Amino acid sequence: MELGITGTILLTLCVTVILYIFTWRRTLKSKNLPPGPPTLPVLGTALHVSITEMPQSLVKLSKQYGPVFTVFIGNIPMVVLAGYDCVKEALVDRSDVFTARGNAFFSSAVFKDFGIALSNGERWKQLRRFSLTTLRNFGMGKRDLGDRIQEEAHFLVERFRNNGGNLFDPTDSLRLAVSNVICSVVFGERFDYEDKKFMTLLSLLQEQLSLLTSAWGILLNLFPRASYYIPGPHRKVFSNIERQKEFILQAVENHKKTIDVNCPRDFIDSFLIKMEEEKDKPNTEFHFENLFGCVMDLFTAGIETTNTTMKQALLILLKYPDVARKIQEEIDNVIGQSRSPTMEDRTNMPYTNAVIHEIQRFADIIPLGLAHAASESTTFRGYSIPKDTIVSPLLTSVLKDPKYFEQPEKFDPGHFLDENGCFKNNEAFIPFSTGKRSCLGEGLARMEIFLMLTAILQKFNLKSNKAPEDLEITPQPGTSGLIARTYQLSVEPR
């Protein structure tokens, strides 16, 4: 019996699909990639990786397939590294191979690979070296930047005090304070908390982050080509970027009018001086697009991560009031009430130091880390990883590695205290990642968290309208661990 034209077409399509799947699967096996869940064409391993709880679904897969396994984003393989030993072996011991950045498509479309965080090769090397040197020159890890943070902590304390014992959400106040520290480094000045331009910039940054970490942002990285064709709220990211560029460009023009090449005031001054020095080099990396990219990297990494950590810190201390009281006892013994906390105090405050480390470990605010890539084809733990393959260090599996942290799912400052109550470090404590791609603002973030948190606890007792046992300190469900829960607190002067 004849099939007819329609039947022939359907049969041809079925045979083609079967042959494609067979050939595709055979090609995957020949590559000797690390093992992983069953993979489908186009969909990849989407049926086995939760979009809304991705870190936990990857941790679950690591228990089944081991510390090195492969998932597929569509037809693109991504090798996931789980546990401290595996992550360290790749990012530290094999840093020559795994230092490259594996760019998320949508972020690349937004930032065009300019700046530090998403760039590679000579651009990344030059900009990271310049930025680290500049930040150190302006006091990262030194006393003068500590003075700036102390000043901002004072404004934060007063803003808390102005609530007069009423319940309030601390998120905005914390973001304003943390943002002003970055502004003092980038722009050479702090802004009044009511400054309209300042508030607009922060609003744009917050909206952008919310979009990129939303289900829209995650889906667009999983199915990147769709980002240019699908209408939706994600499209607003592009217009936001242009408005942020206008803000930075205006600041650059103002700096050009008042710059003293012998005495740079801030990051923008330093970059402009470097631009002038290299203006005749045809391939220089010091131009406005990279200046904008670096500034956005500093704001994105330096504001939301520290703000979220501080927000989680206050919530955790509401949950565990005994921990807050012990910190206050240490503050009273070491600092007292007559002066502001300084970074020099930290070495004499082992319990406070341990609590802050445990807050950062437990809060686990960047559970997926930032993607890396193999800069060359290599063999890792017996598996082949082709050049340019995305390699994702699963930081949540490191910060909650049971080999290094007893009862890792429990909040316990004892993870960083020895039997004598002295502070002890833990090599698996890498909330800022590790290796050559670790966060360049780590020193600044550590200073901010210590000085601001101790300033708050020096002056106030924290109060909640809920019983401690009713407070939930895990991230907001359905956000892949990226969004902290909202809550309210009040403060009582000590």
How does pLDDT run across 124-135, given as a tens digit for each residue? 999 999 999 998
Is residue 376 domain-resident?
no
Residue 487 CB burial class (10 angstroms; 0-12, 13-18, ≥19): buried
Mean pLDDT of 215-225: 61
Residue type, 267: F
Q: What are 55-75's pLDDT values in tens digits?
A: 999 999 999 999 999 999 878
Top mean-pLDDT range of 30-34, 38-42, 306-310: 306-310
Q: Using alpha carbons, select from 141, 176, 139 the residue that is nearest to residue 156.
A: 176
Cα 350 to Cα 3: distance, rounded to the nearest angstrom: 81
- The answer on pLDDT for 19 being more than 60 is no
Is residue 385 domain-resident?
no
Is residue 42 domain-resident?
no
Q: Using alpha carbons, select from 113, 303, 292, 88 the residue that is nearest to residue 205.
A: 303
Is residue 458 domain-resident?
yes
Find the CATH number of the domain harbouring 323: 1.10.630.10
The residues, ordered by sequence, that sit 6+ positions from 292 with a Cβ below 8 Å of its Cβ are: 114, 115, 244, 245, 248, 249
Is residue 117 domain-resident?
yes
Cα 346 to Cα 378: distance, rounded to the nearest angstrom: 43
Is residue 16 domain-resident?
no
Domain span holding position 327: 113-364+400-493
Cβ distance 383 to 32 under 8 Å?
yes
pLDDT-derived band of residue 466, with 50, 70 and 90 as boundaries? very high
Number of domains in the chain: 1
Q: What is the pLDDT of residue 47?
A: 86
For the entire predicted model, the pTM comes to 0.89
Q: What is the mean pLDDT of the chain?
A: 87
Is residue 66 domain-resident?
no
- The answer on pLDDT for 166 being more than 90 is yes
Is residue 74 domain-resident?
no
Sign of CA dihedral 481, 483, 486, 491: positive
Ranges 76-90, 132-146, 280-294, 434-448: which has the least confidence:
132-146
Q: What is the pLDDT of residue 28?
A: 53
- The answer on pLDDT for 317 being more than 90 is yes
